[in-house]
Amino acid sequence: MTEVRHRTVAANGINIHIAEQGSGPLVLLLHGFPELWYSWRHQLPALAAAGFHGVAPDVRGYGQTDAPYPIEAYSMREMTADAVGILDAIGVEQAVVVGHDWGAPMAWHCALLYPERFPAVIALSVPFAPRSSAMPPTQAFKRIFGDNFFYILYFQEPGVAEAELEADVRRSMLLSLSNLSGGARSSEALTPRRRASTMFGDRMPPSSLPEWLSQEDLDCYVREFQRTGFRGGLNRYRNMDRDWAELAELQGAKVQQPALFIAGEQDPVLSFTRLESMTPYVPHLKTVLLPGCGHWTQQERPSEVNREIVEFLHGLPIWSQ
């Protein structure tokens, strides 16, 4: 089997670093926050072994990919245009798009905005959320959570979350990766809570790593975020209201492609999202919930996730077209 290859491609006006492995039909893997292409390290060899060409970029603002400074450079239109630009740079017409965490909404929107380029979609952790006609997302969050701390609202003011997370990158990454894992004692960083003004407060990181995370893995994340900071990733959150305004044409839109959703039963994201809301809007959906798994789905349970992804890919009618 070939090893993971790295290169930089020009796409949508920026330089995007990609890691790739295998040959065959293209599978585009989009990571979330705070992650890197490295989050798909277990999926790239599995896809290659199954006869696919896996491509995992550092998405815009992360790792070795360009990080434009303007907040609006991280709108959903830009993020999905990056995905299409990667396909163009590689020279392929279509790919199955896979996304985890923020990569999941990117994948859902790739399917909505470019159905001819993305004939199937796989999302991990974050369900499809139909556009609300009532109000922009941050207004809705303020109404729902009131005076409670909610991490998405905390991320809105430029520089605030950056100062906390970048003060000690190793601590920030260890708390993020540990607290949202399956079996973690606390997921307070993600869930609403009272009387808090920072993401992690004075909590100490755990004395040992989660079973799925090695010291080498942690060092990889720490090294890159110490170099780049967190602004690029945080800017994605700061475009939620802009996306709501710019993508008004998606009101009531359905994902008509074959779709697979995988999540951990202990993922705190599921505590404030609704799986059942997907049903009318994703009519060709298969859902898989992994017992005991937390938020870092494909890293915590690589064998189960790989099996589900490969089975789904092999069952797609698009390969026979």
| Pairwise CA distance, residues 19 & 94, whole Å | 18
Choice among 101, 217, 243, 267 that is catalytic: 101
Task: Clarify whether 168 is annotated catalytic.
Answer: no
Scanning 10-168, the segments in alpha helix (DSSP H) are 43-49, 76-90, 103-113, 137-145, 151-154, 160-167
- Token pair recorded at residue 253: 């839109």
Q: Cα–Cα distance between 298 and 309 in angstroms, integer?
A: 10
DSSP output for 157-198: STTHHHHHHHHTHHHHHHHHHHHTSTT-S--TTTS-BSS--S
Catalytic residue among 17, 53, 109, 295: 295
Q: Nearest 5 degrees, angle CA 163-CA 62-CA 10?
A: 145
Q: Is 66 a catalytic residue?
A: no
Whether 219 contacts 171, CB under 8 Å: no
Q: What letter does residue 65 receive in the DSSP assignment?
A: S
Enzyme catalytic residues: 101, 295
